Amino acid sequence: MKLPILEFDPSPEALLEPAKLIQPHPEMPLGCVLCFFHDVIRHLGEKGLLTEITSLHSEMGKHPVYRFATPHGDVALAHPGIGSPLAAGMMEETIALGARLFVACGGAGVLDGSPVGGVLLPTAAVRDEGTSYHYLPAAREVALQADVVDAIAATLGEHQVAHRLVKTWTTDAFYRETPARIAARRAEGCACVEMETAALAAVAQFRGIKFGQLLYGGDDLGGAKWDGRNWDGQWNIREKLTFLAAEIALRLRP
């Protein structure tokens, strides 16, 4: 029996089409950082580096979209929410506002003992979530755009930021990362696990825009017991990744 999640419809338009619901904003930059770090966003605001351009809305409330002033130029910055459905929806809406060059920065659980704070650059994501199947035909993985991966790697190299090219495992169910599934994903080459990369890569491919992902090693799921490793307290790497993401988004301009 064919499963509903496998019934891909390639139609370019849906009943609710973002571009028909949201008008382009004249102040929206082409480059956009999808920043998963609320603490960094708050700090950048306190430093006067963020100016609200507009806001998106959901039942969770207001989702501001900012202009982020950096030494290399201005980009948009928004928190995309947590999990593939919300992050994909936020990306769709920022595309409708006018953004075309996306770099996301977030944390990931490590499966192979990578050090906390180590920078991970995904080249592919295992699609163990639901959202990507509505944007691309069913497949085990989605590849991230090679030119964007190269641009990210070049920028990291220029800043002497050590990093690893990795395959990531994108899953919706963080409370169902069982030992057997972790072992299986590790066996197929996944170095880390998170909740959004496959979906964001799929949206980017469907909409014909640029997207890349920066991650850092967070909690450890590779041992007999989970180890949080104070992963969300890594202030220096979180803010540094956000500035690097902005620089990369600006480099992606034609």
Give residues with Cβ within 8 angstroms of 26, minimum separation 6.
Answer: none
Q: Crossing angle of helices 235-251/146-158, nearest 10°?
A: 120
CA gap 218, 230 in Å, rounded: 8
Looking at residue 2, its pLDDT comes to 83
Looking at residue 1, its pLDDT comes to 61
Look at residue 215 and tell me if it is in a domain: yes
Look at residue 8 and tell me if it is in a domain: no
The total domain count for the chain is: 1
CB 18 within 8 A of CB 95: yes
SS3 (DSSP) at 202? helix
Residue 79 to residues 37, 85, 225, Cα–Cα distance (Å): 7, 14, 30
Structural domain containing residue 53: 25-251
Q: What CATH number is given to the structural domain containing 176?
A: 3.40.50.1580
Residue 90 to residues 48, 63, 81, 187, 235, Cα–Cα distance (Å): 24, 9, 8, 32, 25
SS3 (DSSP) at 37? coil
- Owner of token pair 């999990």: 83
Look at residue 12 and tell me if it is in a domain: no
Look at residue 185 and tell me if it is in a domain: yes
- Owner of token pair 């960094």: 40
Look at residue 149 and tell me if it is in a domain: yes
Question: Which parts of the chain have pLDDT scores under 70?
Answer: 1
